[in-house]
Chains A and B, each alone.
Chain A
Amino acid sequence: MAAHFDTEYQRLEASYSDSPPGEENLLVHIPDGNKSPWHHIENLDLFFQRVYNLHQKNGFTCMLLGEVFELVQLLFVVGFTVFLANCVDYDILFANKFVNHTDSSKVTLPDAFLPVDVCGASIRDNVAVMFVLMISGVFWLHRLIKFIYNVCCYWEIRSFYTNALKMSMAELPYFTWQEVQARIVEIQKEHQICIHKKELTELDIYHRILRFKNYMVAMVNKSLLPVRFRPPLLGESVFYTRGLKYNFELIFFWGPGSLFESEWSLKPQYKRGGNRLELADKLASRILWIGIANLLLCPVVLVWQILYAFFSYTEVIKREPGSLGARCWSLYGRCYLRHFNELDHELMSRLSKGYKASSRYMNCFLSPLLTVVAKNVAFFAGSLLAVLIALTIYDEDVLAVEHVLSSITLLGVCITVCRSFIPDKHLVYCPEQLLRLILAHIHYMPDHWQGNAHRYETRDQFSQLFQYKAVFILEELTSPLVTPFILIFSLRRKSLEIIDFFRNFTVEVVGVGDTCSFAQMDIRQHGHPAWMSEGKTEASIYQQAEDGKTELSLMHFAITNPQWQPPTETTHFISQLKERVQRETTGDRQTLTSLSGSEPRSLIANFLAGPPSLASLHLGRDGSLTDHGPVGVNDGASALRSLSVSSTRGSCSSAHRSAGHASFASRAMPGSSTDARTASSGSSVWEGQLTSLVLSEYASTEMSIHALYIHELHKQQSGGELSRHTWHRQDSDDSSDSVTEEGGSGGGNPNPRNLIPRSHTFPISTPISTPGPIPSSNSGPNPDRGPTPGQEVTPLQSNSQRRYGGNTDSVGPGGRVVRSERVPMGGWAEQGRGGRHPDTVPEEGSEDDMPPNTHKVT
């Protein structure tokens, strides 16, 4: 029996031999472990920012070195200043006092130094010096701690690059950001950096990196920030310095008690309209306190600014004195010209491309009076200099005479300065063309500049964007003094508008957090009917981004990130626009040649001739174009790529050909270009960096074409009259953010009441409120601008209809579809309806009938 049992048992075990015995008779799991430390990163904003920074700073070592040198520099600046002030016996240097040397009569540098103990004593006795030393000591320590902290953080990013993205630090400078980004999108699939979504999009990354910058751009766009002033004597000017910017960011984004509770979310109470007045009060008092703090810290900051400016610029000025006369893009300009979702390097490359044209444009405006004076001063200084130099050549002892060397130097500087006021003899005065060329790169421009490029007002306004380096430095130096007052007196008054702005223009995007709704680049929400999105936009005047910023930003983003999949409506807009641009640019190749070349004339000629001629050109070619039209509809990104390739190719090839050849080339293009596209922007992320660089070149050219086209169309749609009625332009200058449009037809209706506000761009606040024509020109961008709606809506519609008719007439029926599919009345009616509560500050109405604007966007 027992034996039987025994055998049974044996047999059983044999048959189940593959299952483990005992309590192991359970499911066995294999842990996946945390092989990568990159899943689920807590602060993605900071993370992406760091990834971007590290890329921009060309890798870890470069960054480390840079920071170390900065620290050393700081020590040096302070130490050297103190040394110069206290430890040098200037009497010896200037040879007012003689040194008793036993062996030789030469004065050496060490002779001029005071002994250490004397020097130390004098430093200790001097309270001011001790104060400066202490301040800078604290500052330096802060920087040191920050540095150490940064090193730790960036070390992590470095390993992210090497381990997760598989890019070594050595080759990082040779990757474009788009490539890095594509890698990040790729690894999200395996590492799940962001836990909300399976896949990251390019827009998500941009949103996170540029979250606050987008807000700033939007605020500048809606003229919310007090950066325009009208001080006596100086006229209308813009004051926006780094110090001011820092303070704005401190107040809004990250300072104690700021509107944001973390990097990614606005405090909930600011999303509700309920107690906006209370919140505005709170904000106002915060601004006051920060202003006062600024005032108290002012001496410290001032000293620092002066020291810093002295040491960073003196060397440059000595080396090339002309650099002070050179220009740079002002901080305001950078904000005004920036697209939504545009990274620093994209902006900078764009602006740098426009630099040459811009400075040439500015040079057109040398004052003739100054030129005459400068010529003569230069003559006299030159003759003196010539004599001195001749004498020196004859006998160099002349140099030993007191002040001869210094006067030679001074005269040299003087001549250089004068020369910068004397225009180049061979300079051709063609501001309109230059401005067009500038526009191709900077993409934004107020309407009234067009056709008025030769006017001094235009130049002055442009100089607000493109200022003298010297002015820039001066502004930075005065910034500590002015900033507190701007905060206390100017910004504080806007607190309610700021609160409203943040409430109205914040959307919560799943996986990204609270972002500026403008940055969504949604035509429907923020499009401007005068900028291509007529009929598509449902935005009220308050919600429209000025200057066609939404539309241009959208194009820019789509072009720079061809892999991006926009929502369907947006895709439609993009492809439609692209199709039209494509039609017109293939119709005329010269445009492109002039863009890539430096000769603006042909470009201008084309655009001055205007789309009608282009239209007639392309009409005959319609057949050939239709076959790649659908490509654009189906896949915006790819069509875009193909266009950019083809267009630039076309430009290269047609540069040497006649127009007839060019058209042939353009017809041959689509095939070859698609090849190029599939080869380059296919699924593989591994591409030669050359290709992607080339692509980015194409992209920028293409964006230029689009920008020009959009502006041209905008001008046609709405601004055509502006250049003709110059009196009118004056008015439109004055209205801060709404331009009046001539209401009655042609002069048949002189009634100024019919002037309607068209939302307008370059907000110029003149204190002289316009008499008459403009319903109410509130200086500043405040949302409760404007016209009483009832009064405006009717003329609006009739007027737009009239213009529509006029437009089609001029173009010819069917020649060019200026408006897309809907009758413009729809768009205007929308706008009129939006104007129902034009003072969008919803006292009690708006927040009730529409929920707080922070709806979820998935």
Chain B
Amino acid sequence: MNENLFTPFTIPMMLGIPITTLIIMFPTMLFPTPNQLINNRMITIQQWLTKLTSKQLMNTHNPKGQTWSLMFISLFLFITFTNLLGMLPHSFTPTAQLSMNLGMAIPLWAGTVVMGFRNKTKISLAHLLPLGTPTFLIPMLVMIETISLFIQPLALAVRLTANITAGHLLLHLIGSATLALVNISLFTALITFTILTLLTILEFAVALIQAYVFTLLVSLYLQDNT
């Protein structure tokens, strides 16, 4: 049982060489480059979806924040499609590894913080103190706000990792439980129904990406717009 539970999360190897980089680069193959003004149907649909998403996402930013739109859209698409591809049986999900999510969260969060401090130093420092706090509470509150600021990249990374890993693990467990209970047909129907509902709920891994990019967006938004 030990071997079965951990095997979806081990680094996939081909002839002894880890092929993680290839797997991470695979979703790019699903997005062809638009060559002409009017492309084929798939590219047109992707362009329409990208435009819809980017407008929705970058609507609330000022021009300086909107320079990050390329970064946000590629981040969003990458996480979405990596998670969705991980729903296929026996596939490997790179975003289930904490190392990868930390590698995504730390540079982007640090980028927003540094941008805030570079361009609007006073306002960035003022964010460390909420409005209307009593005077004697100020030192403690500044400490609390600093800690919450530094927790942000960890929270971003761990949120994504934990959700994806837990979902995959649950599906594994419930699937193997169903297989084991097939002989006792009383519970089989109930458990297969649970698998079905869990699968659809896990499809909302896409909602997780919303959470990821939106939290990132909120942080950049706060830095740039006061």
The answer to whether A and B belong to the same complex is no
- B: which residues have CB within 8 A of A? none
- A: which residues have CB within 8 A of B? none
